[in-house]
């Protein structure tokens, strides 16, 4: 019997502490207690009950009719109930909080934080949470191109972008060129499936499609011009990293948005820069 999983079990015997359960034909040494307060009324030996099996505070196998927020091999967002010198404890919906060891953490955490974690078994066959879930994610997703999804940031790579968990289950990456926001580990963003790799991993964008994004990018250019008294020293020779640093999007996106503004005669080129065609303050 593996802790962290659901089982359909039969009541083998009743005691003052509760009912002892086991799977049909199971070894008597594997009997697990269902505490008295959770035993259904009028239950008798031979009745079947659906339970979740885990270990209690004394490391004994025990069962419950309550359902935790996540089970073994699953992922979910749990709140930090407490932090200690040996790790953190997470509220997962059961009486005994779920342990998150220090070596399964990937950043500093505090009481009240909400973390995306997975559940696994440690070397002693005990349940524990882990924040290092990227390699546990699945590639067998149901999504098609342009599907809208939610993505939680797991890790940020300065050369590649943000590695994310899509809907808390699947592998995803938001490439560096698509990072129009300052994201940090733990952030959740709305995204669009931009590419499906051969290995099934998803490449995401948090930008709109080009024709829709141009309006947003154009507004950003106008906003920055107004902040700078109607002039910005940006032109075709401006380096992509400078544009990215100022506006948060690529040079290609900048040129598309600028072209739209020039066509609308909202801006013009002057003195090797962009001038806002409206009265300066």
Backbone angles phi, psi at 271, to 5 degrees: 55, 45
CATH T-level fold of 210-276: Arc Repressor Mutant, subunit A (1.10.10)
Rounded mean pLDDT of 237-257?
82
Residues 115-137, mean pLDDT to the nearest whole number: 89
More confident site: 24 or 144: 144
Return d(Cα 277, Cα 222) in angstroms, integer: 10
In this predicted structure, what is the pLDDT of residue 76?
86
Instruction: Determine contact, residues 26/68, Cβ cutoff 8 Å.
Output: no
pLDDT tens readout for residues 184-237 = 877 888 999 999 999 999 999 887 555 456 667 888 888 888 888 889 888 878
CB 163 within 8 A of CB 175: no
91-100, 128-137, 178-187, 267-276: lowest mean pLDDT where? Answer: 178-187
Please give the pLDDT value at position 182. Answer: 74
pTM of the model: 0.62
Q: Please spell the DSSP secondary structure of 120-131, one letter per residue.
A: EE-TTS-EEEES
For residues 19 and 42, is the Cβ–Cβ distance under 8 A?
no
Residue 208: per-residue pLDDT: 58
pLDDT at residue 277, as a whole number: 87
> For the domain bounded by 5-64, which CATH number is listed?
2.40.50.140
CATH topology of domain 75-133: OB fold (Dihydrolipoamide Acetyltransferase, E2P) (2.40.50)
Spell out the domain ranges in the chain: 5-64, 75-133, 137-205, 210-276
pLDDT the model gives residue 269: 87
Greatest mean pLDDT range, 8-12, 154-158, 206-210: 8-12
Q: What is the pLDDT of residues 63-86, one digit of tens each?
A: 999 999 999 988 888 999 999 999
> Residue 98: what pLDDT?
95
CA 261/CA 222 separation, integer angstroms: 9
| Residue 88: pLDDT over 50 | yes
Helix axes 210-227, 251-263, angle to 10 degrees: 80
The yes-or-no answer to whether 5-64 and 210-276 have a common fold is no
Report the pLDDT value the prediction gives residue 180, as an integer from 0 to 100: 67
137-205 CATH, one of 3.40.50.10490, 2.40.50.140, 3.20.80.10, 3.40.50.720: 2.40.50.140
> Percent of the chain beyond pLDDT 90?
46
CA-based nearest residue to 150, from 102, 127, 116, 112: 116
Tokens 């948090």, residue located: 206
Residue-level pLDDT at 248:
77
Among 42-56, 144-158, 266-280, the range scoring the smallest mean pLDDT is 266-280
CB within 8 Å of 52: residues ≥ 6 apart: 5, 6, 7, 63, 64, 65, 66, 67, 68, 71, 94
pLDDT, position 143: 94
In whole angstroms, what is the distance from residue 204 CA to residue 177 CA?
11
State the pLDDT at residue 281. Answer: 43
Measured CA to CA in angstroms, residue 47 lies from 30, 51, 201 at distances of 17, 12, 45
The residues facing 64 across adjacent strands are 52
Using pLDDT thresholds of 50, 70 and 90, give the confidence band for residue 181: low
Other beta carbons within 10 angstroms of residue 68's beta carbon come to: 21
Asked if the model's pLDDT at residue 172 lies above 90, the reply is: yes
């Amino acid at each position: 019997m593996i802790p962290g999983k659901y089982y359909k079990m039969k009541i083998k015997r009743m005691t003052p502490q509760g009912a002892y359960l086991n799977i049909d034909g199971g070894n008597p040494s594997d009997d697990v207690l269902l505490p008295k307060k959770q035993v259904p009324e009028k239950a008798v030996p031979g009745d079947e009950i659906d339970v979740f099996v885990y270990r209690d505070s004394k490391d004994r196998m025990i069962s419950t009719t309550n359902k935790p927020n996540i089970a073994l091999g699953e992922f979910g967002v749990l709140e930090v109930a407490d932090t200690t010198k040996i790790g953190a404890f997470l509220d997962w919906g059961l009486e005994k909080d779920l342990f998150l060891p220090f070596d399964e953490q990937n950043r500093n955490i505090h009481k009240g934080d909400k973390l995306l974690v997975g559940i696994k078994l440690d070397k002693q066959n005990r349940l524990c949470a882990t924040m290092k879930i990227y390699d546990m994610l699945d590639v067998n997703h149901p999504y098609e191109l342009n599907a809208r999804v939610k993505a939680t940031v797991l890790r940020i790579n300065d050369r590649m972008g943000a590695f994310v968990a899509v809907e808390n289950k699947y592998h995803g990456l938001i490439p560096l060129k698509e990072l129009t926001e300052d994201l940090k580990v733990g952030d959740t963003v709305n995204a669009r499936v931009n590419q499906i790799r051969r290995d099934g991993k998803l490449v995401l964008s948090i930008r709109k499609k080009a024709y829709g994004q141009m309006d947003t990018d154009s507004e950003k250019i106008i906003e920055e011009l107004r902040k700078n008294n109607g002039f910005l020293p940006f032109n075709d020779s401006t380096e992509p990293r400078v544009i990215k640093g100022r506006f948060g999007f690529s040079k290609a996106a900048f040129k598309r948005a600028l072209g739209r503004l020039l066509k609308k005669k909202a801006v013009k080129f002057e003195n090797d820069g962009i001038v806002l065609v409206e009265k300066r303050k």
